[in-house]
Structure 1
């Protein structure tokens, strides 16, 4: 009996694309690479080059006019030996922790409330986001009037309630928390909208199943809402820490670092070195490099946690 042998099918040669199609593809890629090069140029000029310049300046003594002199680690020693150095880091850490309690938890709670509303949701979103649209200097000046020890709004409210007036910005015990309130009010809207977007992607079946199991509102939030939004929560945690540890506008405009260095932050101390203490740009850059390394460590931890959550 004769056996049939089937020869393997030879792979067909890929057809060459017409010259016109290759030309269109080339032009499309050129356009894409052009936009990419423009973005890389902007990043290089306004992000990467300032970082490199800061690292170089931290090891130099210069007034940005004369020829710089390499001084090694002298700028770091100058910064560390400053009595305000430890106070600045302490204030920055305390400010960050207080801002996490107010500016991280409160927006999430407000987003949950807005997500449950059925009426006037769009209007309330606008009201919550309105402070973000205001220039920061306007918001700070507005709160300067609120905190005024005489006709200020907050002390008038306390007087109406029969409570003693407070020296909001003039007392070391209340100055830092006053700055936290300003920062929270200014930046809360962005966090609320991001949380709202994450909450609306949670399937309603999960809440219905939890409700059938007898879970109350707080258990539903803890067992459904938080696990379903944990990646967004981790991302917002990192962004909140990075933003609050660079706080500058509030102490600069409201307290000037006082009273008694109670509101001096790392960013504000950098400004003082560079523009107040005789233009010591090297010391200011050294302090900025320290802050950058701390923030890089925070970002690395956040990326590790996010990677573990995705597995």
Structure 2
């Protein structure tokens, strides 16, 4: 008796697309490929290449004119040995924490208030977002007049209510918080609009159910609003930390790092190394590389938290 072996069927290959169809498909998407190449070129020239260049400069001694000299970790040793190094990091961390209290909580509270309003909502949105549309230098110069110890607006208000005048920018006790106020006022509008968009996507049934259960306004915010917007809150937290740790315009224009290095930040110290201390671009790049590593760590933690929230 002969046994008949049945050979397994080979998987059928998908029919090949004719060369003409492939060519037409490429031609149909040629515009998309062009835009993609242009975007990649812009990223490479204005984002990736400067990062690579900074990493290389941090290990070199150069004035960007003469031939650079490879010095290894000497730039990092120079930066760490600087007495202003620790003060700059301390000021940056304190500024970031204060900015989180003011620039993270206040925009969320303002967005909640705007979301509850029924009249003049568009006008109030415009008023809140107006500082963002102003050039940063204009906002800083405006607050320089506000903080003026003589005819400044803030001291005039204090005088009206019977309080003593303050040396807003000339005292180490108030200089840093004064910069936080400026930064919060300049950047609050963007956060308010983002929070407001997130709040408007929350179903109203959740608030009605919470209200029927006897929840007050603060319980509704804590048990409904915050959980429903937690992903946006985490994203804005990362953006807030990254932005505030790179603060430069405020100390540069208002205090010059003073008084007594009370407002020297990491970004401002980078500027001093590169453009004030004889063009030490290597040390400035080394400090910038340290800051970039810290910000990458913050971004990694935020991405991990966001991923856990999505599960």
Normalising by structure 2, what TM-score?
0.94
TM-aligned CA deviation for residue 13 of structure 1: 9.5
Change (3 A) 1:275 1:214: same
Residue 159 of structure 1 aligns with which residue? 159
Q: Which residue of 2 aligns with 1:193?
A: 193
Q: Provide the rounded CA distance (Å) in 2 between the counterparts of 1:150 and 1:15.
A: 83
Residues in 1 aligned to 2:2 and 2:116: alpha-carbon distance in whole angstroms: 78
Superposed CA offset, 1:168-200 (max 9, x none):
000000000000000000000000000000000
Gaps spanning 5+ residues in structure 1: where?
Answer: none
The CA RMSD measured in Å over matched residues stands at 3.1
Measure how far apart 1:24 and its partner are.
4.4
Q: Give CA-to-partner distance per residue, 1:180-223, whole Å, 9 cap, x none.
A: 00000000000000000000000000000000000000000000
Q: Following TM superposition, by how much is the alpha carbon of 1:81 offset from its aligned partner in structure 2, in angstroms?
A: 0.2
Write the distance in 2 (CA, Å) between the matches of 1:174 and 1:235.
Answer: 30
Moved over 6 A (4+): 1-21
Distance 1:18 1:59, change over 3 A: closer
Aligned residues: 311
Change (3 A) 1:55 1:8: closer
Deviation at 1:26, TM superposition (A): 1.8
Structure 1 residues 146-171: Cα deviation after superposition (integer angstroms, max 9, x where no partner): 00000000000000001000000000
For residues 76-105 of structure 1, what are the alpha-carbon distances to aligned partners after superposition, in whole Å with 9 as ceiling and x for unaligned?
A: 000000000000000000000000000000
How far apart in 1 are the matches of 2:24 and 2:244?
A: 48
Task: Provide closer, same or farther for how the CA distance between residues 4 and 269 of structure 1 changes in structure 2, counting only shifts above 3 A.
Answer: closer
Distance 1:237 1:32 in 2: 34
- Once the two structures are superposed, residues 226-279 of structure 1 have per-residue CA deviations (whole angstroms, 9 ceiling, x without a partner) of 000000000000000000000000000000000000000000000000000000
Per-residue deviation at 1:3?
23
Q: How far did 1:25 drift?
A: 2.5
- Relative to structure 1, is the Cα distance of residues 9 and 177 closer, same or farther in structure 2, using a 3 angstrom cutoff? same
TM-score (ref. length: structure 1): 0.94
- Closer, same or farther in 2 for the Cα pair 1:166/1:38, shift >3 Å? same
**Partner Cα distance (1:57, 1:111) in 2:** 43
CA change 1:79–1:11 in 2 (3 A) is closer
What's the CA shift string for 1:16-63, capped at 9, x where partnerless? 879886554322322111111100100000000000000000000000
Aligned to 2:169: 169
2:100 is the alignment partner of 1:100: yes
